[in-house]
Structure 1
């Protein structure tokens, strides 16, 4: 029987500032995409919103190596989306387009946005449509693609995507995408991927900065209950990495920090 603890399977990479963290993650992201696509393979990527999600994508767009990527081989998805019109500032996809997607030669059909209310779909129909779109790229194992990299932000409450603590969505395993109503964080209506989809990713990269995230990070590394701290249950098949700044790492034991990764 393995003696590994849950925290031993997770790496923590610390950079001094949010800007340094964004640059470091962008560098690693381009390395992974290049490795995945250099032999003509498709790379599916799940993006996140928030200030750090946008900062990483801006750093990616500005990096000289971005021009060497064959972006026609890359498909972009989102771990969750706010159910608001396509050009609403609250949209994760709008933030991603402004930060990166509008600046690289990625084919429009490779960008898989969640339908908003301006499409005429209801919230439930939007979630069903996103699950159907995921299924178009499903594998032998799952009705969804396996993401080469799945970016996740982490809230101070430990939520990931729109999987919030102690809510029904966090325990669902028989669907790929779910409608979320009465979200504890505005806007109230959202569409989220479920835990099985997130955790079938090859690499889950959780990016978090600020002292207000230190408690959530500590609980996630300590193996807290997934239902009460969803970030604790995020796990990639090959790698699970918490990319954090020094402020967020304030409560992390030094032996959990991986200086070499």
Structure 2
């Protein structure tokens, strides 16, 4: 856990979603004021989708130029394009269908009925990331990608949910995905929770984000949150390995924070 980690504990699920939505709108506005466009990586899950709904319902959303926001996904289920299990489908219903987005800036992971297998879908998403990174490189003199590393665009905010087992995106404890270091995107064929096939960003790609926001609610997440903040190994506790380049925010409700020592909360909230 890096020194730029912060935690904010919210009194309820509803307050957590509303506050995270307000924080996201503000962050996008700040980035757009600096660079004209902004990039966010979306997550699924109950809090992730509730946050997007809260963005859609906020009058402040009108201040954001949504046509200049790039959308990526941390992971998605490898099911049919119209499946309600798809993070993309849920995000569209919650937010994307209610704002004026540029379809070319919405980078969707290929579904199971697109004519590719799950490994090919992961490779295709890595190609999308590389193409976006090269476009940024041509447009800017301050591109700072590491030589030999996967080509990645700039992520201003990357949202992550946390499972009760401490998984993030579709990187599960002790499985191959959390151990993968030489790829931007990984395919999952044996997810411990259905559906078994998924496409996910790797931990290295996740950690390329400027800011990572880990959002969790509910008592079933309390153990995972506590272990991650205690610095457990990412192989066993994937959430502990998520660290943004400039900042990592833990945005949790009181139930999810219940097992985190008060002294640690006080230090991280300072």
TM > 0.5 fold call: yes
CA 1:39 to 1:225, structure 2 compared with 1: closer, same or farther past 3 Å?
closer
Structure 2 partner of 1:233: 241
Which residues of 2 match residues 22-41 of structure 1 at below 5 A? 22-41=17-36
What is the root-mean-square deviation in Å for CA atoms of aligned residues? Answer: 1.5
Deviations 1:52-85 (A, max 9, x none): 1100000011111101111121110110010011
CA distance in structure 1 between the partners assigned to 2:151 and 2:206 by the alignment: 13
CA distance in structure 1 between the partners assigned to 2:3 and 2:265 by the alignment: 10
CA distance in structure 1 between the partners assigned to 2:77 and 2:237 by the alignment: 21
The alpha-carbon deviation at position 173 of structure 1 amounts to: 1.2
Runs of 4+ in 1 over 4 A off after TM superposition: 258-261
Runs of 5+ in structure 1 lacking a partner? 1-5
The alpha-carbon deviation at position 170 of structure 1 amounts to: 0.6
Q: Which among 78, 81, 100 is matched to residue 76 of structure 2?
A: 81
Number of residue pairs matched by the alignment: 256
The question of whether the paired residues in 1 share the 8 Å contact of 2:2 and 2:243 is answered with no
Structure 2 partner of 1:3: none
Q: Does 1:17 align with 2:12?
A: yes
Deviations 1:16-52 (A, max 9, x none): 1100000100011001000001244331111000111
CA 1:83 to 1:90, structure 2 compared with 1: closer, same or farther past 3 Å?
same
The alpha-carbon deviation at position 192 of structure 1 amounts to: 0.4
The question of whether the paired residues in 2 share the 8 Å contact of 1:10 and 1:221 is answered with no
CA 1:220 to 1:207, structure 2 compared with 1: closer, same or farther past 3 Å?
same
Deviations 1:107-155 (A, max 9, x none): 1111100011221111111111100001111154050112100000000
Q: Which among 86, 111, 115 is matched to residue 116 of structure 1?
A: 111
Q: Which among 38, 42, 46 is matched to residue 47 of structure 1?
A: 42
Bigger shift: 9-18 or 228-237?
A: 9-18
The alpha-carbon deviation at position 91 of structure 1 amounts to: 0.1
The question of whether the paired residues in 2 share the 8 Å contact of 1:169 and 1:180 is answered with yes
Structure 1 partner of 2:138: none
Q: Which among 155, 162, 175 is matched to residue 154 of structure 1?
A: 162
Structure 2 partner of 1:144: 152
Q: Which among 262, 265, 270 is matched to residue 257 of structure 1?
A: 265
Q: Which among 127, 133, 150 is matched to residue 132 of structure 1?
A: 127
Structure 1 partner of 2:65: 70
The alpha-carbon deviation at position 257 of structure 1 amounts to: 2.7
| SS of equivalent residue, structure 2 residue 258 | helix
| SS of equivalent residue, structure 1 residue 241 | strand
The alpha-carbon deviation at position 187 of structure 1 amounts to: 0.3
Runs of 5+ in structure 2 lacking a partner? 134-142
Structure 2 partner of 1:198: 206
CA 1:41 to 1:15, structure 2 compared with 1: closer, same or farther past 3 Å?
same
| SS of equivalent residue, structure 2 residue 76 | strand
Q: Which among 207, 212, 226 is matched to residue 218 of structure 1?
A: 226
| SS of equivalent residue, structure 1 residue 38 | helix
Bigger shift: 132-141 or 44-53?
A: 132-141
